[in-house]
Amino acid sequence: MLRRDPTRIELRADDLVDFERSREEYLESKAKLKDQHRKFRSATTGPPPTPAGRDLRSTTASGSGTSSGVNNSREPRPDPFEIAQQERKGKSTAERVLARATFSTYSPTCLAAVHDGKVAYTADKFPHLKRDHSFKKLSEKDISYFKSILASSSITQDEEDLEIFNSDWLRKYRGQSKLVLKPSSTEQVSKILKYCNENRLAVVPQGGNTGLVGKVEKYDKEMQKQMLHATHNAIYFITGGSVPVFDEIVVSMSSMNSIRNFDPVSGALVCDAGCILEVLDKYLEERGYIMPLDLGAKGSCHIGGNVSTNAGGLRLLRYGSLHGTVLGLEVVLPDGTILDNLSTLRKDNTGYDLKQLFIGAEGTLGIVTGVSILSPKRSKAINVALLGLNSFDQIQATFKRSKDELSEILSAFEFWDQEAIKLVKEHLVAGAKDPLQSTYPFYVLVETSGSNKDHDDYKLNNFLEGLMSDDIVQDGVVAQDTTQIHNLWAIREGIPEACSKAGAVYKYDISMPVPVLYKAVEDMKERLVSKEVIGDGKLFTSVIGYGHVGDGNLHLNVAANEFSQEATNLIEPFVFEWAAKHAGSISAEHGLGVSRNNHLHYSKSPTMIQLMIKFKQLIDPNGIMNPYKYLPDV
Amino acid sequence: MASNLRIVVACKRVVDYAVKIRVNAAGTAVETANVKHSMNPFDEIGTEQAIQIKEAVEKAKGKVDVIAVSCGPSKAQETLRTALAMGADRAIHVETDDDLQPLAVAKLLKAVVEKEKPDIVILGKQAIDDDSNQTGQMLAGLLNWPQATFASKVELAEKAMTVTREVDGGVETIKTSLPAILTTDLRLNVPRYASLPNIMKAKRKPLEKLTIADLGVDVKSRLEILKVTEPPKRQGGKIVESVDELVDKLKNEAKVL
C-alpha cells in the first residue's frame, strides 16, 4: 500500500514565501553574474586578468576548509554537505555558483607552444590548474598491485611509450602520467578502479585518444588518410578531455576489443568499449548493417570513447545522436561496482534511464566497458552532390527544400564557406582540384542514402533541377562513381586539417538555430575588422565557417598568426556570449574537457550545474575519475 | 591541328571501383546483382580525353563530334548519360543482355565505326571487371588501323597523333596517322565531375539504340569460364614471445632458414 512518508515535512504557507525568496535570490545572482561579466570584460585589457573571481575562488577554498564532510582531506573540491553547511552559515548556493561562474570567465584558452618540438604541459598552459594534493602519488606498492592483476604486457611505464598516451594528436595537450594500464576484461577494470578509489589514485580513461576534448592513440593507416582521420578525431579531443593533466593513471581500453554479440534481426550490436569504430563498421558491413555514427577518426577511435564523448559526426542528421542509438551500457563505477545495463531492448520504461548519464560524461562518472548499440541497415544507394551558392539564405532555402523533396533519403547536409575552400586548395593535395568551374561564397554537400538507386536518382535529379531553375543554386556537380563520392567528401573532411595548417587556429564548435548559424561567422569577422586586427600582417588571418547545417552545428575557426593572450581576449568570451545570446550551445559535439569546462555556465543554468556537481559527488565521491575537467573548477 | 574530327569513345558499365568484389554462389562469375555500377575508370579517362580534344579543337574554330558507345543491358544507358553529362555530343547504345567477351565487343565497335567513320576511337586500356586488356587491340586488328595503347599523353596534329605510352621501365613516344585506335592509361588525365547544367543538358542529347541484329554481328562466346574463385584469405600475423621462438618458426614453419 502506498502511504505518505511521515518523515517528509508538510508544506506550509511560510515555505511558499521561502520559495519566492529563493527565486528572487536566483534572479539577483543572475544580475550579479552579468555585472561581473561586464566588469571582467572591461578589465581584460591588462594582462593577466585578475577579476574578482580570483578572490571569490580563495573565499570558496577557505570556506570549504571549515567543512567536515566526506571530502575533508581535499579542500578545493565542492561537496553538497559542505554547500549545505555554508548555506546554513548564511551563504547561499546561488552565491557559490556565482563565485564559480565568475572565476570561470578568465579561464585561459590553451596557448600552445607547438612550434619548437615539445608540447608544453597542459598544467603549464592552464596555470589556474593545481594538482589536487589529496590524490596519492604513485608508489612501487601500487605498481606491484597492478602487476598482480594484469599481465606485464598490459602495463606501460616506459617514458617514451607514455608520451603517446600523454598527448593528443593535435599536440595541444600534454599530461605527465607515469603509468598506463590496459585491462582486458571488465573484472580487471573493476579491480583497478576499486584499488584506485580506495587509495585515491586519480584515473583518466582513454579510448582511441582521438578526441578533441582530450584522448590519442596510434594511427595505423597510410599517411594522408591518417591526417584526414586525425583531423576529424580532433573534434573529440580539441578540449583535452582524454589526456591526463598531472600524474593521473591512464586506463586504456585498447585491449578490450571483442564483439560480444550481434542480432541480425534487430541490428543490436553488443561489443567491448575498446572496439575501433571502423572495425565495427566493417563487421556490420558484411552483415548489411552500418554503425549509426561516422567520424573522420573512425580508423582509430574507440566506440567507448565515442559514447563517453557523445560523438556526433556525419551521420547524426540521419540516425540521430548516441542518446538515441545506444541501447545499453556496461559501466564500471569509481568504486569498482560493475553496472550491467547492456540491454538490447528498444523500449524499456523502467526506472531512471541511467545509461544516459554516462553518454557524454567524458569518463568523469566511471569507465564504459561495454556498449550495446542499435545499427541501422546499410543503404544500397548513395549519391553525393556538391553545390555552389551565393548566400547563406540560399543554403537555408536549399536545406528546407531538401527536407521536402529528399526527405527520408537525405543523409547529410554539410556546408563550408569560401575561406574554407581556399585553405583546402592551398594546403591539401586531396582537395586541390576544385570540382566547380568558378568559386562561390558558399558550398553545400548533399548526400542521399536509400535502398533503391533509381528512386533516389529520380528524387535527387528533380531536387537539383528545381534548385537550378529557381536560381537558388548557381552551380553544382553530382558524383558519378564511388571515387568521386570519396573525393567530394575529402574536401569537407579536409577542412579541419587545412585550417590547422594555416597557422594558430582557435576552434569553436557551437550549435544554434539554423537561421543565425552563419551570423556567428559574420559577427566575429565584423568584430575583428572593426578592431582592425584582421588582414595581412595583423593578429588574425581569417575567420572560417563550416559545419553540419542539418544539425544547426557551426565549426567556427579563427586563424591567427600565433596563439597569444591578446588574440584570445579578442574572441573570448565574445564567442561564448554570442552563443548564449542566440540560445545556442558553446560546445555542440566537442564536449568540455579541460578547455571548456569553465564555460559551462554559458549553456547551462546554475541550477543545472549544481545538480551535475551533485551527481558527480554521488557517483565519484573521491573525485578520482578524469579530474580537473568537465565540471567548472572550484 | 585537325579542324573537323569525329571521336568514338567506348564506355563500359562495370562494378564500381570501390565495391568489394564477391564471387557468386555458383562460382561462375562475379556477383553483379544489387551492386553499385559505374563507368569503367579507364573509359572515364577516355571520355575526358575526347572532351579535352573537343575543347581544344573548338577553341581553334574547329568542330568535333564526340560519340559515346556502350554495349550491354539497358542500364548501360546510365553510363552513357554520364558520358553525355561530361560533355559527349551523342550516344549509341548497343542493347543486349548477352554476356559479351572482348572479341564480340570489338566486332560490335567495328560495326559502329564503319557506320560513323570516326577519326579516333578511344577505349580504356582495360575494363576493371574482367581485366582482359584486349578490346582495343582486337578492334585495331579487325579495322586494320594503327593503335597507340596505354597512352599517358596525347598531342594532336593535322591527320596525325603523337602519343606517349607507358611501357615497362619507362615511356615510349610514337607518332601515328589517323584514323587510329587510342587506349588510355591511368595518368592520362583526371576526369571532370558532371556539372548540374550539363547533367540537365545531357537529358536532351540524342541517344541512339541499336541491337546486335541491326549491326549483324556474331557475338557468340568463344571462351567458356570454368570457375571463378576468390584469392586465398590472408593469414593473420603472429606475435612471438622470444627470439628462439622466432628462429624456430622461421626454420620449421616458414622454412626460410
What is the 3 state secondary structure string of chain B? Answer: CCCEEEEEEECCEEECCCCCCCECCCCCCECCCCCCEEECHHHHHHHHHHHHHHHHHHHCCCEEEEEEEEEECCCHHHHHHHHHHHCCCEEEEEECCCCCCHHHHHHHHHHHHHHHCCCEEEEECCCCCCCCCCHHHHHHHHHCCCEEEEEEEEEEECCEEEEEEEECCEEEEEEEECCEEEEECHHHCCCCCEEHHHHHHHCCCCEEEEEHHHHCCCCCCCCCCCCCCCCCCCCCCCCCCCHHHHHHHHHHCCCCC
Give the burial string for A79-96 (b: 16+ CB within 10 Å, else e): bbebbebbeeeebbbbbb
Q: Is B19 on the interface with A (CB under 8 A)?
A: yes
Q: For residue A130, what pLDDT is reported?
A: 80
- Residues contacting A243, CB < 8 A, separation 6+: A122, A165, A166, A167, A168, A173, A174, A175, A204, A206, A209, A214, A215, A216, A237, A594
pLDDT tens for residues A215-262? 322 223 233 333 333 333 333 334 566 788 888 899 999 899 999 999
Residue A355 DSSP SS3: helix
C-alpha cell at A381: 544507394
Q: Is the bond preceding A264 in cis, omega lying within 30 degrees of 0? A: no
Cβ contacts of A484 on chain B, cutoff 8 Å: 193
User: Would the pLDDT of A79 be above 70?
Assistant: no
Closest by CA position to B119, among listed B9, B256, B206:
B9
Q: For residue A197, what pLDDT is reported?
A: 94
pLDDT tens for residues A87-97? 444 444 444 33
Residue A468 C-alpha, separation from nearest chain B C-alpha, in angstroms: 8
- Residues contacting B65, CB < 8 A, separation 6+: B5, B6, B7, B89, B90
Q: For residue B193, what pLDDT is reported?
A: 92
Cβ contacts of B186 on chain A, cutoff 8 Å: none
Name the burial class of residue A155, with classes exposed (0-12), middle (13-18) and buried (19+) by CB atoms within 10 angstroms of its CB.
middle
Which CATH number covers residue B230?
A: 3.40.50.620
CA-nearest residue of chain A to B18?
Answer: A482
C-alpha cell at B44: 572515364
User: Would the pLDDT of B138 be above 90?
Assistant: yes
The answer to whether position B104 is within a domain reads: yes
Question: Number of residue pairs across A and B with CB atoms under 8 Å?
Answer: 60
The residue ranking higher by pLDDT, A502 or A321, is A321
User: Would the pLDDT of A275 be above 90?
Assistant: yes
Q: For residue A413, what pLDDT is reported?
A: 93
Q: For residue A320, what pLDDT is reported?
A: 92
User: Would the pLDDT of B47 be above 90?
Assistant: yes
Quote the percentage of chain A above a pLDDT of 90.
38
- Answer whether B41 sits within 8 Å of A477, measured CB to CB: no
- Residues contacting A55, CB < 8 A, separation 6+: none
* CA geometry: angle A444, A448, A449, nearest 5 deg: 150
* CA geometry: angle A37, A39, A42, nearest 5 deg: 110
Q: What is the mean pLDDT of residues B145-170?
A: 92
Q: For residue A221, what pLDDT is reported?
A: 28
User: Would the pLDDT of A297 be above 70?
Assistant: yes
User: Would the pLDDT of A110 be above 50?
Assistant: no
CA-nearest residue of chain B to A435?
Answer: B193
CA-CA-CA-CA torsion sign (B245, B246, B248, B254): positive
Give the pLDDT band (50/70/90) at residue A390.
Answer: very high
Residue A435 C-alpha, separation from nearest chain B C-alpha, in angstroms: 6
Q: For residue A27, what pLDDT is reported?
A: 65
Which value, in Å, is the radius of gyration of the alpha carbons in chain A?
A: 25
User: Would the pLDDT of A62 be above 70?
Assistant: no
Q: For residue A109, what pLDDT is reported?
A: 33
**How many Cβ atoms are within 10 Å of A287's Cβ, its own excluded?**
14
Q: Is B33 on the interface with A (CB under 8 A)?
A: no
Q: For residue A226, what pLDDT is reported?
A: 34
Picking from A453, A476, A486, the nearest residue to B195 by CB comes out as: A476
The residue ranking higher by pLDDT, B74 or A435, is B74
Residue A55 to residues A386, A489, B50, Cα–Cα distance (Å): 54, 50, 75
The answer to whether position B127 is within a domain reads: yes
- Answer whether A483 sits within 8 Å of B194, measured CB to CB: no
Quote the percentage of chain B above a pLDDT of 70.
99
The residue ranking higher by pLDDT, A313 or B36, is B36
User: Would the pLDDT of B134 be above 90?
Assistant: yes
The answer to whether position B237 is within a domain reads: yes
Q: For residue A242, what pLDDT is reported?
A: 77
CA-CA-CA-CA torsion sign (A326, A328, A329, A333): positive
Say if residues A261 and A194 touch (Cβ distance below 8 Å). no
| Lowest-pLDDT range of A74-78, A380-384, B201-205 | A74-78
Give the pLDDT band (50/70/90) at residue B57.
Answer: very high
- Answer whether B17 sits within 8 Å of A481, measured CB to CB: yes
Closest by CA position to B82, among listed A451, A457, A382:
A457
Picking from A435, A473, A481, the nearest residue to B38 by CB comes out as: A481
Residue found under cell 589529496:
A134
Q: Is the bond preceding A76 in cis, omega lying within 30 degrees of 0? A: no
Cβ contacts of A473 on chain B, cutoff 8 Å: 196
| Lowest-pLDDT range of A501-505, B56-60, B109-113, B220-224 | A501-505
Domain interval for residue B149: 4-252
- Answer whether A483 sits within 8 Å of B39, measured CB to CB: no
| Lowest-pLDDT range of A81-95, A166-180, A302-316, B43-57 | A81-95
What's the number of domains chain B is made of?
Answer: 1
Q: What's the CA gap between B183 and B9, in Å, rounded?
A: 10
CA-nearest residue of chain A to B194?
Answer: A477
- Answer whether B16 sits within 8 Å of A437, measured CB to CB: no
Q: For residue A350, what pLDDT is reported?
A: 87
pLDDT tens for residues A605-629? 899 999 999 999 999 999 999 888 8
CA-nearest residue of chain B to A481?
Answer: B38
Q: For residue A209, what pLDDT is reported?
A: 63
Residue A362 C-alpha, separation from nearest chain B C-alpha, in angstroms: 33
Beta bridge partners of A544: A557
User: Would the pLDDT of A356 be above 50?
Assistant: yes
Q: What's the CA gap between A571 and A542, in Å, rounded?
A: 13
**Residues 71-110, chain B: which have Cβ within 8 Å of A?**
82, 85
Q: What is the mean pLDDT of residues B174-179?
A: 95
C-alpha cell at A371: 556498449
* Helix A13-43 with A52-65: angle, nearest 10 deg: 130
- Answer whether A464 sits within 8 Å of B194, measured CB to CB: no
Say if residues A545 and A521 touch (Cβ distance below 8 Å). yes
Which of A481, A488, A491 to mutate against chain B (most B CBs within 10 Å)? A481
Say if residues A602 and A533 touch (Cβ distance below 8 Å). no
What's the distance, CA A84 to chain centroid? 31
C-alpha cell at B138: 582486337
Q: For residue A67, what pLDDT is reported?
A: 37
Sheet holding A338-341, edge to edge: A259-262, A268-272, A367-374, A326-332, A338-341
What's the distance, CA A633 to chain centroid? 18
- Answer whether A480 sits within 8 Å of B85, measured CB to CB: yes
| Lowest-pLDDT range of A3-17, A47-61, A604-618, B172-186 | A47-61
Picking from A382, A475, A482, the nearest residue to B196 by CB comes out as: A475
**DSSP-assigned letter for residue A154:** G
pLDDT tens for residues A409-432? 999 999 999 999 988 888 876 555
C-alpha cell at A619: 557517483
pLDDT tens for residues A337-353? 999 989 899 888 888 99
Residue A187 C-alpha, separation from nearest chain B C-alpha, in angstroms: 25
- Answer whether B194 sits within 8 Å of A477, measured CB to CB: yes
Residue A608 C-alpha, separation from nearest chain B C-alpha, in angstroms: 48
Say if residues A30 and A43 touch (Cβ distance below 8 Å). no
CA-nearest residue of chain B to A381?
Answer: B36
User: Would the pLDDT of A58 be above 70?
Assistant: no
Residue B195 C-alpha, separation from nearest chain A C-alpha, in angstroms: 4
Say if residues A441 and A389 touch (Cβ distance below 8 Å). yes
Give one DSSP letter per residue of A519-579, joined into a string: HHHHHHHHHHHHTT-BSTTSSEEEEEEEEEGGGTEEEEEEEESS--HHHHHHHTTHHHHHH
User: Would the pLDDT of A76 be above 70?
Assistant: no
Domains of chain A: 134-252 (3.30.43.10), 259-374 (3.30.465.10), 381-496 (3.30.70.2190), 503-591 (3.30.70.2740)
User: Would the pLDDT of B33 be above 60?
Assistant: yes
Q: For residue A290, what pLDDT is reported?
A: 94
Cβ contacts of B190 on chain A, cutoff 8 Å: 433
Say if residues A442 and A388 touch (Cβ distance below 8 Å). yes
Say if residues A88 and A584 touch (Cβ distance below 8 Å). no
CA-nearest residue of chain B to A282?
Answer: B20
What's the distance, CA B170 to chain centroid? 23
What mean pLDDT, rounded, does chain A reach? 78
Q: What's the CA gap between A401 and A446, in Å, rounded?
A: 12
Beta bridge partners of B8: B67, B121
- What does pTM read for this prediction? 0.75
Residue B75 C-alpha, separation from nearest chain A C-alpha, in angstroms: 10
Give the pLDDT band (50/70/90) at residue A566.
Answer: confident
Amino acid in position B48: E
Cβ contacts of A433 on chain B, cutoff 8 Å: 190
The residue ranking higher by pLDDT, A529 or A29, is A529
Q: What's the CA gap between A328 and A270, in Å, rounded?
A: 9
User: Would the pLDDT of A61 be above 70?
Assistant: no
Picking from B18, B34, B195, the nearest residue to A483 by CB comes out as: B18
- Answer whether B193 sits within 8 Å of A484, measured CB to CB: yes
Instruction: Of A27-31, A441-445, B30-34, B251-255, give the range with the top mean pLDDT.
Output: A441-445
Q: What is the mean pLDDT of residues B32-47?
A: 92
Name the burial class of residue B253, with classes exposed (0-12), middle (13-18) and buried (19+) by CB atoms within 10 angstroms of its CB.
exposed
What mean pLDDT, rounded, does chain B reach? 92
CA-nearest residue of chain B to A463?
Answer: B196
Q: Is B17 on the interface with A (CB under 8 A)?
A: yes
Residue A461 C-alpha, separation from nearest chain B C-alpha, in angstroms: 9
Please enumerate, as own/partner, the contacts of B161-164 that have beta carbons within 8 Å and a separation of 24 or more. B161/B120
The answer to whether position B36 is within a domain reads: yes
The answer to whether position B257 is within a domain reads: no
Q: For residue A30, what pLDDT is reported?
A: 61
Q: For residue A57, what pLDDT is reported?
A: 36
